[in-house]
Amino acid sequence: MEDKQNMDKKSKRHYCGSGKFTLVIGSFLFSFLFLLSYPYFIDCPANYFKRKAVLIFANFDTEYSKKLDLGNTWIKDVPESIYELKKLEYLDLSNNPFNKLSEKISQLSNLKVLLLNKESVPSIFFEDPYYRHGFDEIPKGIFNLKKLERLDLSSNRIHIIPLEIRNLTNLRKLILKENDILIYPELFRGLNKLELLDLRGNYITKDKKNKLSSLLPDCKILFDED
């Protein structure tokens, strides 16, 4: 009888110990997965290793030499080595806390897609969220990217689109939503390949909307609803 009671006590202690161990391991795994799933909350190790791995592989003749994804990695300056990747066609630098881009970006003559949007960080986690501190003008080097087909500059602080936007004659998608842009429809004249122009979140009068629609009849233009 005593032997049975002792065995029951040992089983309970073993069960409690296993339960605590499982709880600790479960908490650790949950925290790890949380950081991987939401890398923009803090500059966590997942971001560090992603930056390093991507930049290392980009220097070899791999898929990274044509497509480079550094979105949501908290880089505060664009690494100079990126501007040496002459084969690069796709570059994602979205949702990172920098607001300047070197004119060396023009060296990426094969670039077709450039993502510089800054909208994914919830403001509730930061008193002064960086996505409101984006570019106040379109970086000049971009206007020399003759093969560019998609440009995303949404959720920045851009006020004016310069005349040089006409240099980007291969543009098919231009995303400028959630800025403070003063729209002058004539600036878009000649961008005949445009398929999508997203201007939501910018103040545009009805007359300017009509003018844009007449200048770009084959383009889908997104405005805020009146």
pLDDT tens for 49-66 read: 455 555 555 555 555 579
143: its two tokens = 């206007």
Give pLDDT, residue 114: 98
Write the class of the CATH domain 44-222. alpha beta
Give pLDDT, residue 97: 85
Give pLDDT, residue 64: 58
Mean pLDDT of the chain: 79
pLDDT in tens, 98-141: 889 999 999 999 999 999 999 865 444 344 544 456 899 999 99
pLDDT in tens, 183-216: 999 999 999 999 999 999 999 999 999 999 999 9
- Exposed/middle/buried for 3, CB within 10 Å: 0-12, 13-18, 19+? exposed
